[in-house]
Structure 1
Amino acid sequence: MNKTLGLVITDGVGYRNFCLSEFLSEASVRFENVIIYSGLPVSVFESHNSNNIKVVELPVFVEPFGTWFWRKFKEVAHLQLHKKFFGINDNLEANKSSSNSNRGKATRLIYNLTRHFHSENFIGFLEKKQLTSLANHQVSRECLEFLKTDRPDFLFFTHQRPPYVVPMVFAANKLKIKTGSFIFSWDNLASKGRMAAPFDSFLVWSDLMKEELLYFYPRTSRHALRVVGTPQFEPYVMPEYQMEKSEFYQKHDLSSDKKTICYSCGDISTSRNDELYIEIIATAISEGTISEPVNLFVRTSPAEEPERFNFLKEKFPFIRWNYPDWFISRKDHPEPWSQRVPSESDLVDLRGILSYSDLSINMCSTMSLDFMLFDKPVINPVFGNEQNGLYNDQRFLKYAHYEKVVQSGAVAIAKNEEELLREINFSLKNPNARLKEQKELLKLQIGKQLKGTSQRIAKTLKEFSED
């Protein structure tokens, strides 16, 4: 009990995963002190006050050009090194710049250099340059003072990608404080660029993610890797987030004598065809093409405002909408999405949607896994390709993390309107047709039982703090 855990929560999703799960209560039992270093305002944590939990609000970090340059250099080098993976190559192409700004010109220089220089050793050199570029930065000095005062035995980062974690990593390295990170999402290794900074150890979802990390970060020791599952799904087995079916139908004005189709939206950066898919489903309901009467329930993305769907709300008044209750905790932040914070009531809503919907439709989202955890059939509409003028969402089927989903047979893929409507009618009549494949996919992607996830994470962090 004489150990102190430093917990770096960078954004609203980190808050959701580690504050709205059972993690804080588990960590406060295993550690004498838990210090949350927060990229969110201190006020967000008012309901989590405890004798041995302290919150320190981190200063807002605006990445200077020099640090950006070395980070961008290493990220593009990492993408060049692993571009045989479709998702990584897709991101490599997407990050090219034709801008005449200083960053645009620097990006083109980086692309030219990394065609020739992108070895693991070279990436390690760039990583050191990135960290040392922050040696005299005001935010780095403030982070050093925080850590000198608190002296955590272990510093755990809930996300490995945001650039604004780098000053804390620099400060921890300077003070020889051990660091660890949770791999934030199932697509972060085989589809994205380099992590924001190097860490001493990692917590991962599954054995699959463990092997991915060892492949993409070959200098990582197996001993420094632990499979713990992910806390983002733990609220689905916590009694405080449960809602009765009658309450769910009443709250959202749904007809209890109809089955419910839930369409889960992505944000416009990757899910631009959502409006088309919703309109096709709503039109089919209006025209009686769906084999039985259904509710159409749409949950928008918490990452954006829902204005792009206003025309659908007017055209199809029978659609029921759920706008995630994620409040903006701070404006004028360099990463505004990071400041959106979920409420506990939104988790209750989400769990109700997963529990009582009969069919999930989404464009290759993590929500596919969420619904599978509740044994619900899933359809992924992907109409867009390089020829038909629609936003090319079919390319996501070739991303390494989602290719496994497609190959598993756990979801139905619909590449046009006819396939989508056929799969809707089939899934409504045969909800368990893919259940076996779904269970197998969940074992592959989420390596542990949901119950006890926070306990495993806290136990592992205590062990890391004692190594």
Structure 2
Amino acid sequence: MKTIILSIPYSMSARNLLRSEAFSRLSKTFKVVILTPLHKDENFLREFSRENVVIKGLPKQHSLFFKVFRRALDIIEGCYFTQKTRLDTLLILEQCLKRSRPLTYWSRKAIGATFRPLLHTMRGLQGRFLCSSYYEDLLNEFAPSLVFLSHPIALEEFSIAFTARKKAVPVIALIHSWDNITAKSGIRTVTSNRPGRMLPMHFDKVIVWNKIVKKEIIDCYDYKSYDVFVTGVPQFDYYYNNDFSDRDTFIKQIGADPSKKLLLYSAGSPFILPKQDEVIEGLVKALQDNRFVVPSQLLIRTLPGADMTAVKEKYSKYKDVYVYQPAIANAAVAYNSGWQSGEESQRSLPESLLASDVTMNVTSTMSLDSVVLDRPTICIGFDGFENSSYYDSVVKHYDYTHYSNVMKTGGVQLAKSPDELISKINDYLKDPKMDSEGRERLRREQCYKVDGKAGVRIASFIVDFTKK
């Protein structure tokens, strides 16, 4: 039996891959070695241990020298990639940094220009710094047919990738999300002022969600079309392949009233929407003032992986307002509080969406989750009671390359003021079929196929690769 190594650095990586049919099929075909920070977590081990599965650690032990080297390389890569690709996202982020932190902006531009001739040399050198005796011993012990990366832009995966390359073990990368090619590699990132980062190497094969991302990686990283495989979105297989509680059952479970319409607000990052509390407050006040065309109630889904206790304490006391905290498996961050396993943590998101009559989110992948289940979806395009200037506003996020593709489909609405949000909610409450053609286009363009078989396609691709 051949062996493959799966690198799982983040919670969402585990949800996307290990909870899909990909892992189920691969663990029946290969001996699978999972590398993860949760190799000692009882819940994680309970959920993913199998007869042919070995779970090992994914250590992130970088020297101070490498951290300094890598930070400099992030800056050089960010400047280079922005100039090379001229992607809307990266150009907007460049202007944001220039306006908010001009000294940081100009220092990064100077570093980028000065060391640009050394870019390719420095990218090659990082492999020498990152090759690890831990991973060399691991590769010698298991002699894998390939190494599979589930979040290849994450620094946690660089060591295993470069060590595998050194030992001539093929490396396949699954691009973690729809925005990773266009939004993670600029002079600063979307959710912080830190510089972005390019993919670390030219992988043997790359797996992507859709044809848009395939074109992006071909254009930005010079891949050949036959080296990039489109599978669809593996975490959406669960939505297609399972039966869920009916609407009334779910609504009763959260203590709400099945006779009223349910509005779902999925909270966004405070970095993106600092005055999010004002947006929520406006929705709560609209409920109290009976501004919706039919009796309604609000479910606030807090940001996965974030401490939003204050939100729950503040709003749970209001009539017709309910708050719940998602499992860490839904967080797009590194593990920080252990693994929450079990069916309940996996079912809560699709059941809350299916029970909702209108969903709202803040420039999030939640638009895809909602539209996959054909829920009317509104994006928050205002900053609270008063809007900020463009480069300080949440509205700029909808001009980012990946999100502008969403807006062009007509599958979601963008509310640019509190009153417009209430108006758009009422439009959907009166006509849930509104924008259904746009939602279908969005599913087709961003999700490739919503047929419950993305995980099967990933597994089949890996199996076929090992036969060649």
Q: Same fold (TM over 0.5)?
A: yes
The 3-state SS of whatever aligns with 2:300 is strand
Query: What is the CA–CA distance in structure 2 between the aligned matches of 1:293 and 1:414, rounded to whole Å?
Result: 21
Task: Indicate the SS of the match to 1:341.
Answer: coil
Once the two structures are TM-superposed, the CA of residue 59 in structure 1 deviates from its matched residue by: 2.1
Greater mean alpha carbon deviation, residues 335-344 or residues 401-410: 335-344
Structure 1: how far apart are the matches of 2:313 and 2:285? Answer: 14
* Matches for 1:28-427 after TM superposition, within 5 Å: 28-31=27-30, 33-43=31-41, 44-62=44-62, 64-66=64-66, 67-69=69-71, 71-82=73-84, 84-92=86-94, 110-115=108-113, 118=116, 123-135=119-131, 140-193=132-185, 194-198=197-201, 199-218=203-222, 220-239=223-242, 242-310=244-312, 312-313=314-315, 316-326=318-328, 337=335, 341-344=339-342, 345-384=344-383, 388-389=387-388, 392-427=393-428
- TM-score between the two structures when normalised by the length of structure 1: 0.88
Cα distance, 1:23 vs structure 2: 2.2
User: What residue identity is the alignment partner of 1:302?
Assistant: P
Show CA shifts across 1:346-391 (max 9, x none): 2211111111111001112110111111111111121139x94485
Equivalence for 1:453: 454
**Residues 91 and 192 of structure 1 are in contact (CA less than 8 Å); yes or no, is this contact kept in structure 2?**
no
CA change 1:443–1:336 in 2 (3 A) is: closer
Secondary structure of 1:189's aligned partner: helix
Could you tell me whether the CA contact under 8 Å between 2:58 and 2:156 is conserved in 1?
A: no
Contact persistence 1:328–1:339 (CA under 8 A):
no
Quick one: structure 1 residues 447 and 336, their matched pair in 2 at CA, closer, same or farther if it must change by over 3 Å?
Answer: closer
Q: Secondary structure at the match of 1:42?
A: coil
3-state secondary structure, aligned to 2:180: coil
Q: For 2:97 and 2:123, how far apart are their aligned partners in 1?
A: 19
* Alignment CA distance shift 1:407-1:98 (3 Å): closer
> 2:262 corresponds to which letter in structure 1?
T
Q: How much does 1:409 deviate?
A: 1.3
Aligned to 1:434: 435
Any conservation in 2 of the 1:160–1:195 contact (CA below 8 Å)? no
Q: Which amino acid aligns with 1:271?
A: L
Is the Cα contact below 8 Å between 2:28 and 2:52 reproduced in 1?
A: no
Measured in 2, the distance between the counterparts of 1:197 and 1:130 equals 9
CA contact (8 A) 1:13 1:341 kept: no
- Judged with a 3 Å threshold, the aligned counterparts in structure 2 of structure 1 residues 319 and 421 are, in CA distance, closer, same or farther, namely same
What letter matches 2:215 in structure 1?
Answer: E
SS at structure 2 position matched to 1:461: helix
State the SS of the aligned residue for 1:263.
strand
Mapped to 2, the partners of 1:339 and 1:311 lie a distance apart of 21
- After superposition, the C-alpha distances for 1:273-323 in whole angstroms (9 at most, x for unaligned) are 432221111101100111111121110111201134256426634311111
Alpha-carbon contact 1:74-1:127 (below 8 Å) kept: no
Deviation of 1:15 after TM superposition, in Å, equals 0.9
- Secondary structure (helix, strand or coil) at the match of 1:156 reads strand
Task: Give the counterpart letter for 1:158 in structure 2.
Answer: S
2:21 equivalent to 1:22? yes
Structure 1: segments with no counterpart, 5+ residues: 330-334
1-side partners of 2:84 and 2:405: how far apart?
A: 18
Q: Distance between the aligned counterparts of 1:398 and 1:352, measured in 2?
A: 30
Deviation at 1:124, TM superposition (A): 3.4
> CA contact under 8 A between 1:70 and 1:129: conserved in structure 2?
no
**Aligned counterpart, 1:444:** 445
Contact 1:265 1:363 in 2 (8 A): yes
- Count matched residues: 446
State the partner residue of 2:191. Answer: none
**Using a 3 Å threshold, how does the CA distance of structure 1 residues 328 and 293 change in structure 2: closer, same or farther?**
closer
| SS of aligned partner of 1:180 | strand
Instruction: Give the superposition deviation at 1:343.
Output: 3.1
TM-score (normalised: structure 2): 0.88
In the other structure, the counterpart of 1:332 is none
What per-residue deviation string (whole Å, max 9, x for no partner) do you get for residues 165-210 of structure 1? Answer: 1111121011110001111111111222043421221000111110
- Give 4+ residue runs of structure 1 displaced > 4 Å after superposition: 93-99, 107-110, 116-119, 335-340
The residue type paired with residue 207 of structure 1 is: K
Distance 1:450 1:317, change over 3 A: same
Q: Which runs of 5+ in 2 are unaligned?
A: 186-196
